[in-house]
């Protein structure tokens, strides 16, 4: 039953993907930061053709600009997401496949660049994070980089009722930003994560079964409707603090840079650039 609900969640998300906005998707600023990281790396590395791997099928990353010819392989384990969201294969340039991130279909040390937009959100902390880090470490070339947009819990977790109070005051610009803050506020710890159905239950407990949200919020009806994706879903999302992120990632990688965009809540979605720890290539 739990597996069925999980599959249903991703299928429903696939059909509603375009209705979801930042910070749950990357912004143009985030994509520019990723492009800049790749461009900077390419200045000191000379492969005539870049071999890149994308964790997930984020269309904005698939369409990003590259400093050299590239072959991009995108891996996602949801066929509905691939069918509905992937912008399409381009022969000899980009391909989308259904595959597990923990068993990536690439030879060891074959990728110059690995990218991801919050891929670890659906992993459990710390073991799932550690497993994915090791999987990426295996396929990344010794001089390659891992460019990752992280979802970071504030060091001082917000209170869910305080988040709702901000919504009542009309101080949260979009429903996606409200939902993002509520997900983090309802997570008791990184190891427990937050079940998305718990977010739905909290929401309906506050606004009632008819979903009458405060008009002062100024949110669009179609955006508020995306909360229905969470109803009954058993999926758990995970939001570690930056220190918790570091404690796992630094087992395999070292941080090259961390940057944040300027949009609301961008400080919770930094783009980090990682490379193999010296002497740690697997």
- The CATH number that applies at residue 142 is 3.40.50.150
Instruction: For residues 227 and 244, state if they share a domain.
Output: no
Predicted local confidence at residue 3, as pLDDT:
46
pTM above 0.85, yes or no: yes
- The parent domain of residue 228 ranges over 160-236
Instruction: For residues 141 and 202, state if they share a domain.
Output: no
Of residues 207 and 91, which shows the higher confidence score? 91
Instruction: For residues 201 and 108, state if they share a domain.
Output: no
Q: Average of pLDDT values for 208-214?
A: 70
Instruction: For residues 136 and 268, state if they share a domain.
Output: yes
In a domain, 17, yes or no: no
Predicted local confidence at residue 282, as pLDDT:
60
Predicted local confidence at residue 275, as pLDDT:
97
Instruction: For residues 91 and 228, state if they share a domain.
Output: no
Predicted local confidence at residue 2, as pLDDT:
42
Predicted local confidence at residue 217, as pLDDT:
78
In a domain, 19, yes or no: no
- In order of 97, 115, 273, 276, the CA distances from 76 in angstroms are 7, 13, 21, 24
Mean pLDDT of all residues in the chain?
A: 91
Percent of the chain surpassing pLDDT 90: 75
Instruction: For residues 31 and 132, state if they share a domain.
Output: yes
Residue 22 backbone zone (phi > 0: left; psi -120 to 50: alpha; other: beta): beta
In a domain, 7, yes or no: no
Phi and psi at residue 60, in whole multiples of 5°?
A: -65, -35
Instruction: For residues 124 and 194, state if they share a domain.
Output: no
Q: Average of pLDDT values for 147-170?
A: 95
Instruction: For residues 39 and 73, state if they share a domain.
Output: yes
* Total number of domains in the chain: 2
pLDDT tens per residue, range 234-273 = 999 999 999 999 999 999 999 999 999 999 999 999 999 9
Predicted local confidence at residue 24, as pLDDT:
84
In a domain, 254, yes or no: yes
Of residues 70 and 8, which shows the higher confidence score? 70
Predicted local confidence at residue 1, as pLDDT:
42
Does pLDDT of 23 surpass 60?
yes
- Which residues partner with 50 through β-bridges? 70
Instruction: For residues 101 and 120, state if they share a domain.
Output: yes
Q: What residues contact residue 279 under an 8 Å CB cut-off, 6+ apart?
A: none
Instruction: For residues 229 and 245, state if they share a domain.
Output: no
Predicted local confidence at residue 213, as pLDDT:
75
Instruction: For residues 122 and 40, state if they share a domain.
Output: yes
Q: Average of pLDDT values for 109-133?
A: 97
Instruction: For residues 140 and 255, state if they share a domain.
Output: yes
Of residues 7 and 34, which shows the higher confidence score? 34
In a domain, 18, yes or no: no
In a domain, 20, yes or no: no
Q: Are 270 and 230 in contact (CB under 8 A)?
A: no
In a domain, 113, yes or no: yes
In a domain, 10, yes or no: no
């Amino acid at each position: 039953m739990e597996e069925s609900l999980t599959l249903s969640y991703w299928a429903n998300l696939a059909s509603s993907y375009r209705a979801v906005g930042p910070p749950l998707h990357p912004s143009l600023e985030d994509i520019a930061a990723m492009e800049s990281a790749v461009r900077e790396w390419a200045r000191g590395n000379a492969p005539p053709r870049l071999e890149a791997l994308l964790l997930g099928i984020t269309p904005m990353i698939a369409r990003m600009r590259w400093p050299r010819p590239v072959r991009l392989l995108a891996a996602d384990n949801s066929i509905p997401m691939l069918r509905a969201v992937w912008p399409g294969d381009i022969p000899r340039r980009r391909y989308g496949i259904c595959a597990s991130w923990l068993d990536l279909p690439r030879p060891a040390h074959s990728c110059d660049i690995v990218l991801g937009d919050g891929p670890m959100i659906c992993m459990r902390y710390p073991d799932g994070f550690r497993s994915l880090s090791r999987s990426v470490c295996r396929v990344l070339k010794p001089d390659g980089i891992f460019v990752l947009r992280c979802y970071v819990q504030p060091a001082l977790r917000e209170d869910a009722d305080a988040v709702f109070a901000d919504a009542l005051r009309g101080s949260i610009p979009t429903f996606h930003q409200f939902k993002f803050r509520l997900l983090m506020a309802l997570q008791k710890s990184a190891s427990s994560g937050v079940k998305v159905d718990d977010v739905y239950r909290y929401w309906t407990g506050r606004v009632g079964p008819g979903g009458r949200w405060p008009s002062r919020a100024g949110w669009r009806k179609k955006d508020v409707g995306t909360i229905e994706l969470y109803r009954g879903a058993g999926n758990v999302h995970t939001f570690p603090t930056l220190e918790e992120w570091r404690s796992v990632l630094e087992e395999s990688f070292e941080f090259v840079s961390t940057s944040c965009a300027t949009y609301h809540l961008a400080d919770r979605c930094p783009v980090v650039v990682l490379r193999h720890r010296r002497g740690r290539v697997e």
